[in-house]
Amino acid sequence: WTIERVWSAMSILSGLRVIDCGTYILAPAAATMMSDFGAEVIKIEAPGIGDPHRYLHAVVPMPASDIDYCWILEARNKKSIVVDLKRPGGHDLLLKLVASADVFITNFPESVLSDLRIHYADLKPTNERLVYARASGYGEKGPDVEQPGYDMTAWWARSGLMDAIRSHQNEPALSAGGMGDHPSSSTMFGAIMLALYHRERTGRGSKVSTSLMANGIWANSCFIQAALVGAKRFTYPSRSEPPNALVNHYVTRDGKRFILCGIRGDKDWLGVCRAIGREDLIASERYNTREKRYANSCELVKILDEAFAQKPLDEWNAAFKTCDVTVSTVLPYDEVIHDPAVLANDILVEFDHPTRGRMRTVNSPIFMEGEPKVTPRAAPTLGEHTAEIARSLGYSDTAIAELVSCGVLHLAK
């Protein structure tokens, strides 16, 4: 085979070895994205329960199931090694693994990184080409470096999003599971690829980082920028009394809901009036300018509520398409998996589960033309690949047995 043919048979990140030395979602999910494009990802887990993300599905108020669906999603394609990094032999094994790796990903707090001696400065001498990626809750400086950070706290609450995303007189809502972690993992993925590009140009590794707080503020950056320029604080909208009736959600005759995104002024006003068969409203003295529609938005909501209650959602969607009105159905999460647009765009992918047969999981959101992703492999059991990985580092079966007997390594049960 020519080099070109060998490369074409591989995924674009094939040949890269990634160490996932983190827990829960943000950092490990970035490694998952790399695995989708062919990188070998080795998941380091502590003795005992391993990554507690294996059990997040059982935490209320997560959707109840006896299937560890969070682990299925985040740990696909990975290899699990259980090693006690607090023991000298465990740290020695880690350094051998780092010497063979391209990327090291972690989200441990500063104190843990120090205790385990896995700061970038600790690992860099072992591998000058190593890309070291670290995620945190609240950044690497300031008063909260040791504060535990989940997306519910650092991304959702601390960024202003939790306060902003609610309607008039309603309490703030809890975030959905992983809602901030997963987009933040895309940031980390981008940072890692930037560092790999830097290594390609210079031959040197580097450290990259991101935080949940920074990503939450980036997600909320329109409002944050408004605060930076001293803009007047917005008031929480009410569905029945919104500041703009064309940016609102409505219920159809069959009890389904859609959101109207009429931000194009007169163009959207014309489209909505035509869709509901009320061209008489177009030139109305009460609604014929953007300012008048804002001032009389409560009246407009009543008119639109009455109109949209006359037909089922499918008929309205057809009318909106004809009249160039921008809307989207408000889908419950358990209906998203049947959405034709979702199915057509490979957002869900199939894989074989060792005990439950053919299943689907959520694809990572980056696609590259001409570079197919790998077919997902089932998430590993705890320590499933401990012996395999140790052998790849040069440990004999006798040495592995000794490390197991002294508690450094743990094999799958």
Give the Cβ contact number of residue 135 at 10 Å: 29
pLDDT value of position 5? 33
* CB count in 10 Å sphere of residue 55: 13
Q: What angle do CA 326, 161, 145 make, to 5 degrees?
A: 145
CA dist., res. 379 & res. 43, Å (int): 10
CA 310 – CA 325 distance, rounded (Å): 18
| 363: amino acid identity, one letter | N
Half-sphere exposure of 233 (CA within 13 A, CB side): 5
CB 213 within 8 A of CB 154: yes
User: Each residue of 374-413: pLDDT tens digit?
Assistant: 999 999 999 999 999 999 999 999 999 999 999 999 999 8
- Residue 7: the pLDDT is 39
Structure tokens at 375: 């077919």
Query: Which pLDDT score, from 0 to 100, does residue 20 have?
Result: 98
pLDDT value, residue 171: 92
pLDDT of residue 8: 39
Question: What pLDDT score was predicted for residue 400?
Answer: 98
Q: Name the nearest CA neighbour of 127 among 105, 97, 84, 93.
A: 97
Which pLDDT belongs to residue 162? 97
Kindly give the parts of the chain with pLDDT less than 70. Answer: 1-9
- Predicted local distance difference test score (pLDDT) of residue 4: 37
Predicted local confidence at residue 312, as pLDDT = 98
Buried b (16+ CB within 10 A) or exposed e, 188-198: bbebbbebbee
